Structure 1
């Protein structure tokens, strides 16, 4: 039996974080959450998620800035996706600018979110 996809979701909105955790868990995805951008590098290094879903608009430190630091501490192949309610064009451009592995809108339907996470999880396993 294949290992479940491991996803770290970083979002300072506790309600949204809880909702995403329940949603992804219902699809058999192993979910860890962080409500703070601080310490994400250590979490990534120790827990070795396949995919890190980073909210762009966090109070302490924006997700695009967290990405650069966390990637240096991540195992090879770890996929970083920006996650935001920003319009898709802005989000796509930001992901390109900070060299994220992808992006997804918070308005995406659950199936699309899971599909993208699984797609990036396969990439991570192929690279790692």
Structure 2
């Protein structure tokens, strides 16, 4: 019996956490959520996910700044990080290139969320 893959969603908005969790659990994935940026680095370490979905637009410490703290651990453990945002796609592509994360997923793209997450986890 193989263990279910674990996705961690980091976002400051409870509704986005709830929605992403419900959509991904329907794909038979284990989903952990973390609200906000502060303490997220320690949570990633304790959770040890197979994939991190990181919101960009969080107050005080944005996701594109938080990613710099998450990357060393995630690179070491080969945990892909995807920005998960409602920002426009041109901006997301630029942020992916700047921060060297694996990609982005638009919050409004439900089929894209399911497809991208399952594709990435199938390769792990």
Under a length normalisation based on structure 1, what TM-score does the superposition of the two structures give?
A: 0.88
Mapping of residues 1-128 of structure 1, within 5 Å: 1-74=1-74, 75-109=76-110, 111-123=111-123, 125=124
> Alpha-carbon deviation of 1:119?
2.1
* TM-score, normalization by structure 2: 0.91
- Could you tell me which runs of 5 or more consecutive residues in structure 1 were left unpaired when the two chains were aligned: none
1:73: Cα distance to partner? 2.6
The answer for unaligned runs of 5 or more in structure 2 is none
Q: Residues 77-126 of structure 1, C-alpha deviation per residue, up to 9 Å, x if partnerless? A: 100000111111111111111111111111112x3211111222234x3x
How many residues align? The count is 123
